[in-house]
Chains A and B, each alone.
Chain A
Amino acid sequence: MRTFTTLSGPAAPLPMINVDTDQIIPKQYLTAITRAGLGKGLFHDFRYDMEDRERPDFVLNREPWNEACILIAGENFGCGSSREHAPWALEDFGIRCVIAPGFADIFFNNCVKNGILLIALPEDNVNTLMADAENPQACRMRVDLEAQTIMRASGETVGFEIEPFRKHRLLEGLDDIGITMARAAEIDAFEARQKAAQPWLYGADIPDSAG
């Protein structure tokens, strides 16, 4: 997994609440068996009109935000479907950090797995950063995960909280499966205990005959 240490660049404002993962990447992008090119579909219905032409007024279609690497959003960002295509699309577009008052749980986990930093901040701080992001002269920010700070264009910094395990995973870019595999003996022992106590949880193959 890609590590996350620091990130600098334009932040794009998306002042909407309850942006669901269907909005982040709609269903027509879910049928492929490749992740390539998902950035094209990011926020598809906001970015393109019914004839698939770019909407010039949408923020990610305008300079400097078409190069945004940070997104400032409203509360409950990423709610709805569990599709990991949402972080894949953000990353493919180039966005590696989202700042909002709150995020949905599954989306949060999916982002950590893909090296995307989500920062939950109090509403007031989000409003300040949103105002910065809306101003092309002030929209550049620098996020430092180790120091847990966001530096505004004015040079002021805003601190943020992050759970230590998430910070650690992002900084190190850890392979979760490799880490768990190292605990194989404990998993074996758990299974042996559980199989003795609840044998019905084992070997229940789906029967062949229909009905």
Chain B
Amino acid sequence: MSGPKTLFDKIWESHVVAENDDGTTLLYIDKHLIHEVTSWTGFERMAEDGRGVRRPDATLGVPDHSIPTRNRAAGVAGIGDPLGRGQVEALIANCERFGVPLIPLTDLRQGIVHIIGPEQGLTLPGATLVCGDSHTATHGAFGCLAFGIGSSEVEHVLATQTLSQKRPRNMRIAVAGDLPPGVAAKDMILAVIGVIGTAGGTGHVVEYAGAAIRALSMEGRMTVCNMTIEGGARAGLVAPDETTFAYLKGRPMAPAGDHWDRAVAHWRTLASDEGAAYDKEATIEAADIAPQITWGTSPEDVIPVTGRTPDPAAAPDEKRREAISQALDYMALAPDAPIEGVAVDRVFIGSCTNGRIEDLRAAAAVARGRRVPDGVGAMVVPGSGLVKRQAEEEGLDRIFVEAGFEWRDAGCSMCIAMNDDKLAPGERCASTSNRNFKGRQGRGGRTHLVSPAMAAAAAVSGRFVDVREMLS
């Protein structure tokens, strides 16, 4: 097929190993990240079948989901839950047995798998990258075709470095104009999901474009791509540009010397061609985006902080009415009421969506010189050990601690609550993570998704406020 191509078309077509008889494509996978929760079954079956890892050099393991965010010096022994500890031990043993490099718990570079890939320069433009984790979409910020897979597919990649996939369709989401002050990348992606819905991207790869996307830093682009899965699409992409190259240059695993120049020359050819066609398109005006907050139990249940909760009586159909009523009920919110002023019990700043240095800076700018009121528990969990060290070098940890936040070690933490960091039943949390599903942060817990600045504003106010009013 010639003619104008999209960024996605170019990456896909350059990774076709073969077309299978059944209409799927055997796609080559360049990079494979693994963590403790979704890799053990693949390794177990490979051992049974006497198979090996085809390319250990393209694979990297890191424990992140079920590890404690305190007392990290204790290493694996410090994991209180015996099952979680067993899973991390299995990851370590499997990586050793199959020769896969691993970043251990005690390493400064340990962190959330989607934070460390970019940080180490493993995530590269034009490449394909997978991980047994739906937020693999994060890496698309580099123009890297990255998507989450299940455990059977993890095994398939370990054994063959390929996957059989049906070719997805192209979707383009443009965010036009400039983002207003006090509005972050997180607000942008929440607004996008509010427009397209949680199934709006199903079957598609989304390319984010437009001036507001181009103006984002790499970290902002990662936040946007990260939540692509919350809009139903497995992968999001941003065309690589000078911002991308500047971020990657000099990273430990990025190409160097002559390879760097050749790589950049290749990466410059990846952007979508003029006139390339998309199966679906949407445009959003950045100027219309206010700080966002979710009110319900799906990421599409989102409103501006100045908005009101929905009224089930106004829902278009019975199923939707039922869903809204149930969500409001679970969240203990009144229908058709302002969200601003609702009191919070807990605040969580972290996750692969918002656990990078710029996120912590944005939160610290709000927290500085203010104080978390008694009765509110706020915690900051950096996305990696390197993010933590950088924040400490900048003095952000002191700002947080003086404002009454807890300063923790890196990991997924209360994004998924597989360690000790979880909500008690009924507790209401302002969270910078990506999923407000029922019970996600602890059974009966109530999660509101917000940006880091909005989370910090909620922490020091004890309730949801419009952060723009605190930034003058």
Check A177/B108 contact, CB under 8 A, given A109-B153, A110-B152: no
The interface size of chain A toward B, counting residues with CB under 8 Å, comes to: 62
| A147 contacts partner chain B, Cβ-Cβ < 8 Å | no
Q: A104 to B202, alpha carbons, bound, how many Å?
A: 6
Residue B416 CB within 8 A of the other chain:
yes
- B residues in contact with A50, CB < 8 Å: 425, 443-444
Q: Tell me, yes or no, whether A206 is within 8 Å of chain B by CB.
A: yes
A22 at the interface (CB under 8 A from B): yes
Q: Is the CB of A204 within 8 A of B86?
A: no
B24 at the interface (CB under 8 A from A): yes
The residue that B83 contacts in the complex, of A32, A84, A177, A199, with Cβ under 8 A, is: A32
Residue-wise interface mask of B (233-253) relative to A, using a CB-CB cutoff of 8 A (1 in contact, 0 not): 110000000000000000011
Which residue of A is nearest B132, CB measured? A82
Chain B, residue nearest A175 (CB): B49
- Closest Cβ neighbor of B296 among chain A residues: A18
Chain B residue nearest to A74 (CB atoms) is B319
A36 touches B (CB below 8 Å): no
Specify which of A18, A23, A75, A164 lies most central, judged by the most chain B CB atoms within 10 Å of its CB.
Answer: A18
**A207 at interface, CB cutoff 8 A:** yes
Per the bound structure, the CA–CA distance linking A183 and B17 in Å amounts to 9
For B405, what are the chain A residues with a Cβ–Cβ distance below 8 Å? Answer: none
Q: Is the CB of B26 within 8 A of A17?
A: no
B23 in the interface (beta carbon within 8 A): yes
Chain A residues closer than 8 Å to B65, beta-carbon distance: 30
By the criterion CB–CB under 8 Å, are A201 and B124 in contact? Answer: yes
| CB pair B108 A211 closer than 8 Å | yes
Tell me the A55-88 residues at the B interface (CB within 8 Å).
74-76, 79-84, 87
Interface residue? B90 (CB, 8 A): yes
A76→B199 contact, CB < 8 A? yes
Complex CA gap A204/B422 in Å reads 37
B440 on the A face (CB < 8 A):
yes
Known: A81-B134, A82-B133, A165-B20. A180 touches B156 (CB 8 A): yes
**Identity of the chain A residue whose Cβ is nearest the Cβ of B201 in the assembled complex:** A105
Contact (Cβ within 8 A) A45 B443: yes
Known: A81-B134, A106-B149. A187 touches B108 (CB 8 A): no
Q: Quick one: CB contact mask for A165-188 with B, threshold 8 Å, 1 for yes?
A: 100110000001101110100110
A79 to B435, CA, bound (A): 11
Chain A residues near B108 (CB, 8 Å)? 210-211
Q: Are A17 and B319 in contact (CB under 8 A)?
A: yes
Partner of B437, one of A80, A83, A200: A80
Residues of A close to B159: CB separation below 8 A = 177, 180-181
> Is A168's CB under 8 angstroms from B81's CB?
no
CA distance A26 to B386 in the complex (A): 30
Q: Which of B255-263, B282-290, B341-349, B356-364 contacts A (4 or more CB under 8 A)?
A: B255-263
Is B438 in contact with A76, judged by CB distance below 8 angstroms? no
Query: Can you name 16 A-B pairs with beta carbons within 8 Å?
Result: A15-B322, A30-B37, A32-B83, A45-B443, A76-B198, A79-B232, A80-B435, A81-B134, A82-B38, A82-B134, A110-B150, A110-B153, A113-B150, A177-B159, A201-B124, A201-B127
**Interface positions of A (Cβ within 8 A of B):** 15-18, 20, 22-23, 26-27, 30-33, 35, 45, 50, 74-76, 79-84, 87, 102, 104-106, 109-110, 113-114, 163-165, 168-169, 176-177, 179-181, 183, 186-187, 190-191, 194, 198-207, 210-211
Instruction: Beyond the given A17-B319, A76-B198, A82-B134, please list 14 additional residue pairs across the A-B interface where CB-CB is below 8 A.
Output: A18-B323, A22-B438, A30-B65, A31-B87, A75-B199, A80-B437, A102-B199, A165-B166, A168-B22, A180-B26, A180-B159, A183-B26, A200-B124, A201-B124
In the A-B complex, the 4 residue pairs with the closest CB atoms: A165-B22, A200-B255, A110-B150, A113-B152
